[in-house]
Structures are given as C-alpha cells and as structure tokens.
Structure 1
Amino acid sequence: MSRSSSGIVAGLTAAAVAVVGFLAFQASANVPDTLGKPTKAAPSSLPAASGGAPAQKPKNPTALPADSGSGMRVVYALADRRVWLVDEKGRSTRTFTVMPSTVNPTPGSYTVTSRSGSVTGSDGVRIEHVVRFTTVDNVAIGFSAAVDGTLTSPDPTLKTGGVRMRVADGNAMWTFATVGSKVEVIP
C-alpha cells in the first residue's frame, strides 16, 4: 500500500470515529433524566405496612393444582397439557407435559378401565404402555407413548383419543396407573 492510500484510510477511519462519537454524544444528550432510575409506584398500589395483601407469586407450572382430587391418582390438566402422578399421601411423585389428542375427556373423575402393552394407535402410530380411562363419542381416551419417541400434534382430521407422552413418562405411567386407579381430569 502506498503512503497516500494509507493516509486516506487513516483519514476515513478518523472521520468515522468522529461521526460515531458525535452521534453517541447526541444520543446521550437526548436521554430522559428518568431513564434507568426506579420509578415510584403510586401510593394506592403499595400494600399497607401491616395487614396488606402479600404480593402475588407467579404460578408454578409444575405445582400440583388445588382441587385436583385426593389420594393416589393421576391428574390430567387439559389446559396445561400436563399430568401429575400423585401418591397416597397427596404428593406429586412425577409431572410431565403431554400432547392431547383431537378428542378430549370432559373434566371429572375416572378410573383406569384397561391397559395394553403395545398396540397401533388410531392414528397408525405404534404405541406402548396404553392406559385407558374413558370413551368419548366411541373414541377410547387414554395415555400412551409412541414407540419411536415422537411427541407430535395429532392430525386434526382424525378422531383420536391418545394422550401422548415421552417414553420415560409412559414407563412411569404404566407402573403407576393399574386397572382401577383414579384419574382426575381438570380443565
């Protein structure tokens, strides 16, 4: 590189740095005084020093829902797409997410009516550890795991009742939910 071209590069670099510095100065000069400072809440929104309501904690998505029955049971929350396995003392021993099917049970109390070790689901997928607990519109509703481990959304054009879970969760469900076990379905 010749001396004149290196001088041009140095000049352009210096000009670019100067422009960036000027723009940074302008930006900082236009920042509101309150930016970065804590805002004061209106007095009416602060809890009273004594006797005020405690601040709401965010909902724990894995916590066993209140009003989900009692005793040993499987709890299936439709909206949360989550299942809890609950022991006889009312403690959740395992919780996991599931993929609901196209046909869902109505909220209520059920019992496990039948089980199958390995079958082909109504969607044509090979499944295992099938735990059935009700029928809706002639569609059997139950928990199962796809043998290949997939957890995909069901085809909305099919009437299926399999609530799918991961293989490890299916193994736990199979061990936990024998025929006659309680299943509580909540909204």
Structure 2
Amino acid sequence: MPSWAWVTALTAGALVAVTFLAVEAGNGSRPTATAPTAQVKPTASPSPKAAASPGLGEDVKHQVPTASGEGRRIVYSLGEQRVWLVDPNNNYDDSFAVWPGTISPEKGSYAVSFRRDDGVGSDGVSIEHIVYFAVKEGMSIAFSNAVDGAAPSPAPGVSTGGIRVATTAGGAIWKFGALGTKISVVD
C-alpha cells in the first residue's frame, strides 16, 4: 500500500479516536460564547480576497444559518465566509468574518479534533489559536489567526486548509472550541 494511503488511514483513525474520546469527555461544563470587546479593523493588504471579506469591522448583527443544527456549536458558512459561536440555547453574541483557504471542508457536522497554540501555516505565515476539525485531500482544515494580525494574501499554487480570522476572533474561537465542540459547516 502506498505511503499516502497509510498516512490518510492513520489520520482518519486518529480523528475518529479523538472525536470519540472528546464526546465521551464532553459531559462536563463548557465555557459560553462571549463577544470580543475590541472592534476588528481590516489590515491593509493587496489581497482582493481580504478586502472583499463580508462584515469585517461592521456593526451589523448576522443571523445564524437556519439549517446549522441545535445546541452549543461553531457554525461556519462557506458562502457567507463567516463563523458564529452558538451557545446551548442557540443564541450568539457575535460572528466573525473569515478568509477561507484554497481547500474547503465539505458541508456537514464535525467536532474539534485537535488544537495547537501556535505553528506555521502552509503559506509560511506564523499562526496561533489553531483549532482543527477536518481533513480533505490530505490537508488539515482548521481555524487560526496570523500572529501579526495580517489578512492572508493569495499564495499562488499553494494549497491551504487554514480558515483565517482576525486576532480577536481567533482568541474567541480558541476559548470556545474545546476538544469535541461541534462544528456545523453550511452553505
């Protein structure tokens, strides 16, 4: 069997095991969603993707997508390029604009499978608050923010699974997204 098949099988097995253990441990108390107090300001960037990110710095209240599930969860809308941190009563205090990578997760239900304080993204940027929840095409998919707070620029020819957020959003997702936290990916 080719080495990539072994790696894929081991990664899938590890995700299943971690998810199972996280669900079993998930009966304890969990933090509730809180809105960051600082206003997010877009970073100047030559990236048209960053400039077109919806809602960054706006005071508009965005509604949680209706088909995103029930209970405490992180909701990620592929079409709106936005994340919501939803409490057990289906309420939220805020939502955050995101800059998706070149590889997006499939629509469906996931759980936080792994977390890292910091690292380097596949685009070479130093990142923090890394919250992993899926694998697609051999690429890990996770929420994170750039340590320097910059919005990502397109990286020609580089596959990225990182879903970048502003620094305050990265901290909020990190605090909310304990192992096993449900993640709902919708249109």
Q: TM-score range by the shorter chain?
A: 0.5 to 0.7
For 1:69 and 1:82, locate their aligned partners in 2 and report how far apart those are by CA, in whole Å.
16
For 2:106 and 2:79, locate their aligned partners in 1 and report how far apart those are by CA, in whole Å.
12
Q: Does 2:142 correspond to 1:142?
A: yes
Query: For structure 2, which runs of at least 5 residues remain unmatched after alignment?
Result: 1-59
Q: Percent identity?
A: 43
Q: Which amino acid aligns with 1:161?
A: G
TM-score by length of 2: 0.66
Partner of 2:73: 73
Decide which structure has the larger Cα Rg and report it: 1
The question of whether the paired residues in 2 share the 8 Å contact of 1:101 and 1:153 is answered with no
Partner of 2:170: 170
Alignment of 1:49-64 (within 5 A): 62-64=62-64
For 2:98 and 2:155, locate their aligned partners in 1 and report how far apart those are by CA, in whole Å.
16
TM-score by length of 1: 0.66
The question of whether the paired residues in 2 share the 8 Å contact of 1:98 and 1:164 is answered with yes
Partner of 2:96: 96
Partner of 1:115: 115
The question of whether the paired residues in 2 share the 8 Å contact of 1:111 and 1:180 is answered with yes
For 2:167 and 2:100, locate their aligned partners in 1 and report how far apart those are by CA, in whole Å.
15
The question of whether the paired residues in 2 share the 8 Å contact of 1:84 and 1:92 is answered with yes
1:123 alignment partner, SS class: coil
Q: What is the aligned residue count?
A: 128
For 1:87 and 1:132, locate their aligned partners in 2 and report how far apart those are by CA, in whole Å.
20
Partner of 2:84: 84
Shift of 1:61: 6.9
Runs of 4+ residues deviating >6 angstroms: none
When residues 61 and 104 of structure 1 are mapped into structure 2, their CA distance, relative to the original with a 3 A threshold, is farther
